[in-house]
């Protein structure tokens, strides 16, 4: 059943990731973890599921001493109980096992971890068929799960499908306080190498494991080769919450209709299993949700986490928006962008005011005295036929001594983006343009990308150029780079450029070519394109270019993103490397802007 868009009064979507403007838990009622706080004096304090984070001062000291390690958390999307951070020494990643060991950190967060004792390190399954080591690997199951009624599987089925157990933990946790029967399971889930193995279960893979039938076996990791162990750790602090704390998913009522929580909260189930389930206040939900929950069974919502207490399995959050029906392209796209913290909002008037207001814009006279004038050279762009943001151009001409002059010319975006301006700040926050199958979320306003900086043919444009003098064999004799002014003579498509390369002596009919500036002929463009291809094929970087995807390997809608004319791409790569090697102070802002513009 189609429902009208249902919005809640929260912060606008598309705000920078890591910045939360939603109300804290004290603004939306008592959290499930605090439900019985008034009875603490008589009933005692509830057992925490997660460890309290270390103090910042202790974390800093631990990082200095080397007893703590920091890194970006990566959670396996297919086995979300597995997480990793890079090892500082570049060796095998450090393993973080389970929700409890992650300690409320989410994918992408910058975390600080503490290594576990060696007897709790992960035993890595060997690539060969060594049965003894493989048996040690198969002991990778928490002791407390042995005999638990959630575990009705053999060891083999656990290793084949560990997600079933994790899902079962959460599915059985809809109890009133969010703990249910799984609290001890989660708390002790990081104990890896002291396991209970059912002897009967080893003989019969379908036999359930029960505590009465098990025998505990202590695995001595010292007897294993060092390469069979993977260092394991637990999160003790979150340095930076890189994850947006937003997720798309579905709403459902709590299972226990007689509980106090049922009257106050609904349960939000994220589509991404790396994100915890979230309690959301019913006042945030559609008004008829409690009476007609099935009407919203296929409605996609966005929810933001606002708190996650130590004594609660689930996080606390607020609904941000209903997106629409699951499976439809626009709701799904908006959900993905929101989850990953992509700012897809329109540019503000303050940002747009940083750009020239009068169009068409003309180059100020003083720029001609400060830049190298290349407007008479045969310079052309090579892009998909439908491209509107032409950000790079190519030139190649023979010299009298038999050598060639090859130039790569990049739109000088830095001229229009003063450092520290509102436009610069927004561009820095967005970092890059985001290319989706059916749309692009630009880093910079379209006025800048498609008009002011686009190297449209027969139009004077500001550029930053690198010009090489090359031998016919591709050896670099000389190079120059700096600010320039160009006037592209034509806009070639990939098909035009490829046809000229494949048939260097065959003239393409004028009606099949795009308009060419009267100052240059189609023959001149044809020769320049062929010469550029010849130089690229002799370049030392040609082997790297061969490893890049070809036009045929890329879907049509993504050409220009995953692929670029191979010769242009090669020269662009070389231009970037040379500019960065030189690093003249006067061009640093230009380099910074161009590094974000080049999609190669």
The pLDDT tens digits along the chain (600 residues) read 444 444 443 434 333 333 333 333 333 444 444 444 444 444 555 678 999 999 999 999 999 999 999 999 999 999 999 999 999 998 899 999 999 999 999 999 999 999 999 999 999 876 655 454 444 444 444 443 333 333 333 333 334 333 323 333 344 444 444 444 344 443 444 343 333 333 333 333 333 333 333 333 345 555 555 568 899 999 999 999 999 999 999 999 998 888 888 989 999 999 999 999 999 999 999 989 999 999 999 999 999 999 999 999 899 999 998 999 999 999 999 999 998 889 999 999 999 999 998 888 999 999 999 999 999 999 999 888 888 889 899 998 889 999 999 999 999 999 999 999 999 999 999 999 998 888 889 999 999 988 999 999 999 999 999 999 988 888 889 999 899 999 999 998 888 888 877 877 777 777 788 888 888 888 888 777 666 655 555 555 444 444 444 444 444 443 443 344 555 454 455 555 555 455 444 333 443 344 344 333
CA–CA dist 306, 28 (Å, integer): 10
DSSP letter, residue 447: I
CATH 2.40.50.690 in the chain is located at 56-123
Q: How far lies 231's CA from each of 93, 226, 435, in Å?
A: 8, 10, 37
CA–CA dist 148, 598 (Å, integer): 55
Considering only CA atoms, which of 498, 492, 497 is closest in space to residue 514? Answer: 492
Q: Which CATH class is domain 244-340?
A: mainly beta
Tokens encoding 565: 């004319």
| Cβ-contact 358, 453 below 8 angstroms | no
CATH 2.40.50.700 in the chain is located at 244-340
- Say which residues have a Cβ less than 8 Å from residue 146's Cβ, sequence separation at least 6: 195, 196, 197, 198, 209, 211, 214
Helix (H) or strand (E) holding 469: strand 460-470
| Cβ-contact 193, 202 below 8 angstroms | no
CA–CA dist 219, 118 (Å, integer): 11
Q: What are the b/e assignments for 444-483, b being 16+ CB within 10 Å?
A: bbebbbbbbbbbbbeeebbbbbbbbbbeeebeeeeeebbb
Q: Phi/psi of residue 291, each to 5°?
A: -75, -30
- Upstream peptide bond of 360 is cis (omega within 30 degrees of 0): yes
- How far from chain centre, in Å, is Cα 180? 34
Q: What are the b/e assignments for 261-290, b being 16+ CB within 10 Å?
A: bbebbbbbbbebbbbbbbbbbbebbbeebe
Q: What is the pLDDT of residue 560?
A: 40
| Cβ-contact 269, 247 below 8 angstroms | no
Bridge partners of 321, per DSSP, are: 7, 302
DSSP letter, residue 272: S
Q: What is the pLDDT of residue 588?
A: 35
- At what angle are helices 566-582 and 522-538 packed, to 10 degrees? 60
Q: What is the pLDDT of residue 221?
A: 52
Considering only CA atoms, which of 480, 478, 423 is closest in space to residue 449? Answer: 423
Helix (H) or strand (E) holding 87: none
E strand residue ranges, 20-140: 68-72, 74-75, 82-85, 94-97, 110-115, 122-123
E strand residue ranges, 326-459: 372-373, 379-383, 392-398, 404-411, 434-435, 440-441
Pairing label, strands 460-470, 265-270? unpaired
CATH code for 56-123? 2.40.50.690
Q: What is the pLDDT of residue 166?
A: 34
Helix (H) or strand (E) holding 108: none
| Cβ-contact 382, 394 below 8 angstroms | yes
CA–CA dist 516, 504 (Å, integer): 18
- How far from chain centre, in Å, is Cα 520? 45
CA–CA dist 598, 600 (Å, integer): 6
Tokens encoding 22: 């939603």
| Cβ-contact 165, 153 below 8 angstroms | yes
Half-sphere exposure of 230 (CA within 13 A, CB side): 20
- Say which residues have a Cβ less than 8 Å from residue 309's Cβ, sequence separation at least 6: 31, 33, 34, 316
Considering only CA atoms, which of 381, 377, 378, 379 is closest in space to residue 493? Answer: 381
- Give the burial class of 436: count Cβ atoms within 10 A of its Cβ; 0-12 exposed, 13-18 middle, 19 or more buried: middle
DSSP letter, residue 432: S
């Amino acid at each position: 059943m189609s429902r009208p868009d249902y919005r809640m009064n929260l912060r606008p979507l598309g705000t920078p990731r890591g910045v939360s403007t939603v109300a804290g838990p004290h603004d939306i009622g008592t959290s499930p973890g605090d439900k019985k706080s008034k009875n603490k004096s008589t009933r005692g304090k509830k057992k925490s599921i997660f460890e309290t984070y270390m103090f910042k001062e202790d974390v800093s000291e631990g990082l200095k001493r080397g007893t703590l390690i920091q890194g970006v958390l990566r959670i396996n999307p297919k086995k979300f109980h597995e997480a990793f951070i890079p090892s500082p020494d570049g060796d095998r990643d450090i393993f973080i096992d389970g929700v409890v060991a992650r300690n409320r950190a989410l994918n992408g967060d910058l975390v600080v971890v503490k290594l576990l004792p060696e007897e709790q390190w992960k035993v890595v399954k060997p690539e060969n068929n060594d049965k003894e080591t493989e048996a040690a690997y198969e002991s990778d199951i928490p002791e407390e799960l042995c005999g638990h009624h959630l575990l009705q599987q053999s060891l083999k089925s656990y290793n084949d499908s560990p997600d079933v157990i994790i899902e079962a933990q959460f599915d059985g946790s809809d109890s009133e306080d969010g703990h249910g029967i799984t609290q001890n399971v989660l708390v002790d889930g990081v104990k890896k190498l002291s396991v209970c193995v059912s002897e009967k279960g080893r003989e019969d893979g379908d036999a359930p494991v029960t505590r009465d039938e098990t025998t505990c076996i202590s695995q001595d990791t010292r007897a294993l080769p060092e390469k069979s162990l993977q260092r394991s750790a637990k999160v003790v602090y979150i340095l930076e919450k890189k994850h947006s704390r937003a997720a798309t998913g579905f709403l459902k009522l709590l299972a226990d209709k007689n509980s106090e929580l049922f009257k106050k909260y609904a349960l939000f189930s994220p589509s991404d299993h790396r994100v915890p389930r979230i309690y959301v206040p019913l006042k945030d939900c559609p008004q008829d949700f409690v009476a007609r929950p099935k009407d919203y069974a296929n409605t996609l919502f966005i929810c933001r986490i606002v708190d996650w207490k130590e004594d609660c399995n689930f996080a606390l959050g607020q609904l941000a928006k209903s997106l629409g029906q699951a499976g439809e392209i626009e709701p799904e796209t908006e959900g993905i962008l929101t989850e990953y913290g992509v700012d897809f909002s329109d540019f503000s008037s303050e940002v747009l005011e940083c750009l020239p207001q009068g169009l068409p814009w003309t180059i100020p006279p003083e720029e001609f005295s400060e830049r190298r004038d290349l407007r008479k050279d045969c310079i052309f762009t090579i892009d998909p036929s439908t491209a509107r943001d032409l950000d790079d151009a190519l030139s190649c001409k023979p010299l009298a001594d038999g050598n060639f002059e090859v130039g790569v010319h990049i739109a000088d975006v830095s001229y229009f983006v003063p450092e520290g301006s509102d436009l610069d700040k927004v561009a820095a926050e967005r970092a890059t343009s985001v290319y989706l199958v059916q749309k692009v979320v630009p880093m910079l306003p379209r006025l800048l990308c498609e008009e002011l900086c686009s190297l449209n043919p027969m139009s004077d444009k500001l550029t930053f150029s690198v010009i090489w003098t090359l031998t016919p064999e591709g050896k670099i004799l000389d190079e120059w780079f700096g600010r320039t002014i160009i006037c592209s003579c034509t806009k070639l498509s990939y098909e035009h450029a490829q046809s000229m390369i494949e048939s260097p002596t065959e003239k393409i009919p004028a009606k099949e070519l795009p308009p060419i500036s009267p100052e240059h002929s189609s023959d001149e463009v044809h020769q320049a394109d062929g010469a550029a291809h010849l130089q690229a094929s002799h370049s030392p970087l040609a082997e790297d270019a061969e490893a890049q995807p070809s036009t045929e390997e890329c879907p049509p809608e993504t050409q220009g993103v995953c692929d670029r004319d191979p010769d242009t791409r090669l020269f662009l790569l070389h231009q970037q490397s040379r500019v960065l090697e030189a690093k003249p102070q006067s061009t640093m802002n230009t380099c910074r802007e161009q590094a974000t513009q080049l999609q190669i």
